[in-house]
């Protein structure tokens, strides 16, 4: 199937990751707008339709990133949380390990501003952002 494209009948997703298991099967991890994650088994040869292995609620908002890594599923969401799910031998998942991280901008460098209006607009945005951080 090298060099060919295939359209898969799976639900719409906000993000995805995949892993080739062998020459005939791949795993496809999808993150969805409703906070759900789903794992699919995909027949590489296209002889059968994708099969959903599981679907779980992972986030209180849209999923922004997913990753299959080793024996884990990692997801990040717009609810500002990350979840780490252990994968079992039968591809089911164990209870999530909640990971909480908040990222904060420590500085900003503006490069390539061409006009005075742009420079003023960007400076105002930076000033408002700094003020909002101080009051939070």
CB 35 within 8 A of CB 58: yes
Q: Where in the chain does DSSP place strands (E)?
A: 15-20, 25-31, 36-43, 51-57, 63-69, 72-77, 81-86, 97-100
Residue 4 covered by a domain: no
pLDDT of residue 121: 77
pLDDT of residue 35: 96
Q: Are residues 70 and 131 in the same domain?
A: no
pLDDT of residue 10: 80
Average pLDDT of each block of 10 consecutive residues along the chain (136 residues)? Answer: 66 89 89 95 84 93 92 89 87 79 60 73 75 60
Determine the Cα–Cα distance for residues 115 and 97; give it in Å rounded to an integer. Answer: 48
pLDDT of residue 1: 47
CA distances from 100 to 19, 80, 81 (A): 26, 7, 5
What residue numbers bound the domain in which 73 lies? 15-100
CB 58 within 8 A of CB 36: yes
pLDDT of residue 110: 60
- The total of structural domains in the chain comes to 2
């Amino acid at each position: 199937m090298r060099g060919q494209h295939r359209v898969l009948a799976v639900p719409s997703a906000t993000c995805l990751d995949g892993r080739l298991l062998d020459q005939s099967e791949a795993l496809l991890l999808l993150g969805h707008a409703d906070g759900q994650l789903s794992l699919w088994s995909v027949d590489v040869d296209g002889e059968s339709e994708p099969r959903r292995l599981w679907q779980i609620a992972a986030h209180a908002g849209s999923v922004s990133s997913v990753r299959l890594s080793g024996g884990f599923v990692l997801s990040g969401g717009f609810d500002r949380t990350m979840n780490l799910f252990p994968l079992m031998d039968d591809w089911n998942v164990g209870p999530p390990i909640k990971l909480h991280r908040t990222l904060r901008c420590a500085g900003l460098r503006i490069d390539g501003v061409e006009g005075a209006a742009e420079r003023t607009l960007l400076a105002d945005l930076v000033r408002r952002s700094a003020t909002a951080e101080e009051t939070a």
